Amino acid sequence: MNNFQFKNPTKILFRKGQIENLSKEIPENAKVLLLYGGGSIKSNGIYNQIKKAISSFDIVEFGGIPANPEYAVLIDALKIIKDKNITFLLAVGGGSVIDGTKFLAAAALFDGNSPWDILSKNIRTQKGMPFGTVLTLPATGSEMNSGAAITRRETKEKLVMGGPGLFPVFSILDPEVVKSIPQHQISNGLADAFTHVLEQYMTYSVDAKLQDRLAESVMQTLVEVAPAILKDTSDYKASSNFMWSCTLALNGLIQQGVPSDWAIHMMGHELTALFRIDHARTLVIIAGSHYTYNLATKKEKLAQYATRVWNVSEGSVEEKALIGIKKTTEFFQSLGIKTRLSEYTDDYKGTAQIISKRFTERGWLGLGEHGKVTPSDVEKIVEMSY
Ligand code: NZQ
Ligand code: ZN
């Protein structure tokens, strides 16, 4: 096992009806900016619950943060934070609203030239404005980690940011919110969380037995609850297991002491930036090709995964590894997700070259757990995903 330091300060309040207790978590006398997305919280009743719970605070609202939070929209919110002397941010939404809020938490205290530098120059945030979240969509784990992904439409870029100053102070996880989530977002959540585990697991063994078993358990739980939650989003038992699995998939715990990959996410972000394909679906498009292309360096872990998660008992290491890749693709398909880029756009030719060129220009010359996935490898992997 590798050495590590681990600190995750986010307080989790996991309970049915937990939104009622929201006011106890917000600092007294705070001037709160309530941030949300395109309006789902208004139609499913969460907005009214929130407003009631925090009625004693001085509140300003900012709605309309789009999926794949858009830089230009967030800059409008940043102006409100400054003009109205906001002291606490409250994100109510999925990964997009929470990530957008993290950007604002960083930008509000940033003393550089342009807040875009936080993303383009990869500036880590040591101290951000405090914020809490009410999660409405299990998927990203953003509610208990310190990372974010921000999109800039004018330049078709999607970049990541983070730092120890960007953990939520608290996150409310009430599995009842799952009820109103449309089917395709449930599928996205399952696929995103599953891929988060894969990115931190499908590397090479460092004999970290517990991390391996934890990762496998999260994947097994997602596979087990997927049919139930897809069938009935008001199934509270399935929702609770789905929600906590998504959080655990990316709250830092399973990543400690082990190598991680994240190349699938880096390639996937480009597909969102170029074609506006949902985040989770971009991961599904890339995953199979990435693992097939990198079979030589990942086959032991792929075989272990095939055996432990998919009960594959026959065959050589390589044969098991290949079955593991096939099972992964079939799992994604069982969620109703298309697995090839050409199923999302007719304009896919040349995508591999564009992405590879962007990586070269940004100096991303070696991705993956060994730092050896070059822009030329990226080109081949993306091409295999057409
Ligand atoms: O905008 P509203 O109207 O609220 O509707 C949203 C949105 O259209 C809707 N929704 C959310 N909760 C709902 C609901 N609809 C009905 N009932 C509810 N309870 O769902 C749609 C998608 O929401 P979004 O927040 O975009 O989805 P998700 O949670 O999948 O977040 C995706 C974003 O997170 C980033 C992605 O890149 C993407 O930008 N990620 C963040 C990560 C992190 N911070 O750690 C890691 C991930 O790998 C990912 O990169
Ligand atoms: Zn993801």
Mean pLDDT of 182-207: 98
**How far from chain centre, in Å, is Cα 355?**
21
Mean pLDDT of 159-164: 97
Contact in structure between 23 and 54 (CB atoms under 8 Å): yes
* pLDDT category of residue 26 using cuts at 50, 70 and 90: very high
Q: Where in the chain is the domain with CATH 3.40.50.1970?
A: 11-176
pLDDT given for residue 65 in this prediction: 98
Q: What is the CATH number of domain 182-384?
A: 1.20.1090.10
Q: Is 68 in the pocket of ligand 1 (CB under 6 A)?
A: yes
Q: Is 188 in the pocket of ligand 1 (CB under 6 A)?
A: yes
Distance CA 156, CA 214 (A): 36
Which residue lies with its CA nearest to atom 18 of ligand 1?
181
* pLDDT category of residue 46 using cuts at 50, 70 and 90: very high
**Residue of 185, 234, 265, 272 with the most ligand 1 atoms within 8 Å of its CB, for mutation:** 185
Q: Quick check: 17 pLDDT over 90?
A: no
Q: C-alpha dihedral over 328, 145, 355, 344, to 10 degrees?
A: 50
Per-residue HEC secondary structure of the chain comes to: CCCCCCCCCCEEEECCCHHHHHHHHCCCCCEEEEEECCCHHHHCCHHHHHHHHCCCCEEEEECCCCCCCEHHHHHHHHHHHHHCCCCEEEEEECHHHHHHHHHHHHHHCCCCCCCHHHHHCCCCCCCCCCEEEEECCCCCCHHHCCEEEEEEHHHCEEEEEECHHHCCCEEEECHHHHHHCCHHHHHHHHHHHHHHHHHHHCCCCCCCHHHHHHHHHHHHHHHHHHHHHHHCCCCHHHHHHHHHHHHHHCCCHHHCCCCCCCHHHHHHHHHHHHHCCCHHHHHHHHHHHHHHHCHHHHHHHHHHHHHHHHCCCCCCHHHHHHHHHHHHHHHHHHCCCCCCHHHCCCCCCCHHHHHHHHHHHHCCCCECCCCCECHHHHHHHHHHCC
pLDDT given for residue 154 in this prediction: 92
Q: Where in the chain is the domain with CATH 1.20.1090.10?
A: 182-384
Angle made by CA atoms 53, 59, 60, in degrees to the nearest 5: 135
Q: Quick check: 47 pLDDT over 90?
A: yes
> Separation of 23 CA from ligand 2 center, angstroms?
30
pLDDT tens by residue, 56-80:
999 999 999 999 999 999 999 999 9
Instruction: Work out the number of other CB atoms within 10 angstroms of the CB of residue 19.
Output: 20
pLDDT given for residue 149 in this prediction: 97
* pLDDT category of residue 255 using cuts at 50, 70 and 90: very high
Q: Quick check: 105 pLDDT over 90?
A: yes
> Separation of 94 CA from ligand 1 center, angstroms?
4
Q: Which residue in this structure is represented by tokens 């999302």?
A: 344
Q: Quick check: 31 pLDDT over 90?
A: yes
pLDDT given for residue 18 in this prediction: 84
Distance CA 124, CA 162 (A): 6
Q: What is the CATH number of domain 11-176?
A: 3.40.50.1970
Mean of the per-residue pLDDT values for the chain?
97
Distance CA 31, CA 306 (A): 51
Q: Is 44 in the pocket of ligand 1 (CB under 6 A)?
A: yes
pLDDT given for residue 60 in this prediction: 98
Q: Quick check: 383 pLDDT over 90?
A: yes
| pTM of full prediction above 0.85 | yes
pLDDT tens by residue, 211-241:
999 999 999 999 999 999 999 999 999 999 9
pLDDT tens by residue, 113-149:
999 999 999 999 999 999 999 999 999 999 999 999 9
Which residue lies with its CA nearest to atom 50 of ligand 1?
149
Instruction: Work out the number of other CB atoms within 10 angstroms of the CB of residue 297.
Output: 15
pLDDT given for residue 250 in this prediction: 98
